[in-house]
């Protein structure tokens, strides 16, 4: 009788180990599927990065022309952006020139608006300009 009871316990342990193994394997499979789906949910991130990079490259010459027409030759231009987790971008266009300090607040605001308007903007992309001396 003892041998029979011992075999039953072994079989129960084997079933328990098999069940735990199946649960662990299921979690691993679900994790892999979730990571794959998350990566595919995003629009092609590399294509979007290339698109915005191309737009940024187009802005600088436009900004430089606008500044030169306003009398700001050889101004320093730096374009930075922040991106949230949903792909929305917020650009800051920093312009540095020593003559900026001579502008009135109204002139400065007007020029910042003109510069920001040159940047590509849509529902997912916002740009603003800051002038410093």
> Per residue in 93-131, pLDDT tens?
999 999 888 889 999 999 999 999 988 878 888 899 999
- Residue 24 phi, psi (nearest 5): -65, -45
Same domain, 30 and 58: no
Per-residue pLDDT at 42: 55
Q: Which domain holds residue 77?
A: 45-132
Same domain, 82 and 111: yes
pTM score, whole prediction: 0.62
Give residue 43's pLDDT band: very low, low, confident or very high (50, 70, 90): low
Tokens, residue 18: 């098999």
The answer to whether 81 touches 90, Cβ cutoff 8 Å, is yes
Number of domains in the chain: 2
What percent of the chain is predicted at pLDDT more than 70? 89
* Residues 44-55 pLDDT 10s: 778 888 888 888
List own/partner pairs for 85-91 with CB under 8 A and 24 or more apart.
87/42, 87/43, 87/45, 87/48, 87/124, 88/124, 88/125, 88/126, 89/52, 89/124, 89/125, 89/126, 90/125, 90/126, 90/127, 90/128, 91/56, 91/119, 91/125, 91/126, 91/127, 91/128
Same domain, 29 and 64: no
Per-residue pLDDT at 40: 54
Same domain, 73 and 111: yes
Give residue 61's pLDDT band: very low, low, confident or very high (50, 70, 90): very high
Same domain, 32 and 77: no
């Amino acid at each position: 009788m003892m041998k029979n009871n011992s075999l039953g316990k072994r079989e129960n342990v084997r079933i328990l180990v098999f069940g735990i193994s199946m649960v662990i394997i299921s979690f691993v499979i679900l994790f892999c599927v979730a990571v794959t789906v998350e990566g595919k949910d995003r629009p092609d991130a590399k294509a979007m990065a290339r698109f915005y990079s191309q737009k940024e490259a187009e802005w600088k010459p436009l900004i430089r022309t606008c500044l030169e027409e306003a009398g700001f030759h050889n101004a320093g231009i730096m374009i930075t952006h922040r991106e949230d987790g949903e792909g929305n971008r917020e650009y800051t266009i920093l312009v540095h020139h020593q003559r900026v300090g001579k502008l009135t607040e109204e002139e400065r605001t007007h020029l910042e608006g003109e510069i920001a308007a040159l940047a590509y903007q849509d529902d997912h992309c916002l740009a603003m300009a800051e002038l410093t001396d």
